[in-house]
Amino acid sequence: MALDTDSVRRIAHLARLKVPDDQLDHLAGEISQILTFVEQLGAVDTTDVPPMTGMATQKLRRRPDVVTDGQIPDKVLANAPDATGGFYSVPKVVE
């Protein structure tokens, strides 16, 4: 699969990742190369093969649905680039 620069720009936007225009072409080439590499899997017959969704043969454990943590707003906000009055601050979202 060969990706063009418009596709790369679209994916980058989906990933919320700014990519300078002058790098789109190079990235499109690299990503196309990797996609070509992985597409050899198309030749593998996977009819009736279930996808692997977990490693363990055991069933997922259950736990009581109770609060085990909390009341630590200072710790939660300790690494925030910008926090005010017990909240994360971000650029204005609503006009």
Partner 1 sequence: MADLLSLTLAEARDALKAGETSAVDLVTAHVGAMERARPLNLFITETAEQALAMAEAADARRARGEAGPLNGLPIGVKDLFCTTGVLTTAGSHILDGFVPTYESTVTSKLWADGAVMLGKLNLDEFAMGSSTLTSYYGPTINPWSPRDGGGTGDGFARKLVPGGSSGGSGAAIAAGVGVGALGTDTGGSIRQPASFCGITGIKPTYGRCSRWGIVAFASSLDQAGVFGVTVRDCAILLTSICGLDPKDSTSVDLPVPDFEAALKDGVRGLKIGVPKEYRVDGMPAEIEALWQQGIDWLRAAGAEVAEVSLPHTHHALPAYYIVAPAEASSNLARYDGVRYGLRVDGKSIIEMYENTRGAGFGAEVRRRILIGTYVLSAGYYDAYYRKAQQVRSLIRRDFDRVFEGFDAVLTPTTPSGAFGLDNVPDDPVTMYLNDIFTVTANMAGLPGISVPAGLDHQGLPLGLQVLGRPFDEATLLRVAQAIEDAAAFKLAPPFNMRA
Residue 30 binds to partner 1 (criterion: CB under 8 A): yes
Report if residue 12 touches partner 1, rule: CB under 8 A: yes
The yes or no reply on residue 2 touching partner 1 (CB under 8 A) is: no
List all residues 6 or more positions away from 77 whose beta carbon is below 8 Å from its beta carbon.
83, 86, 88
Tokens describing residue 72: 């630590």
Please state, in angstroms and as integers, the Cα–Cα distance from residue 60 to each residue in 5, 54, 56, following that order. Answer: 43, 10, 9
Binding site for partner 1 (CB under 8 A): 3, 7-8, 11-20, 27, 30-31, 33-35, 37-42, 44, 46, 49-56, 58, 60-61, 63, 72, 75, 78-82, 88, 90-93
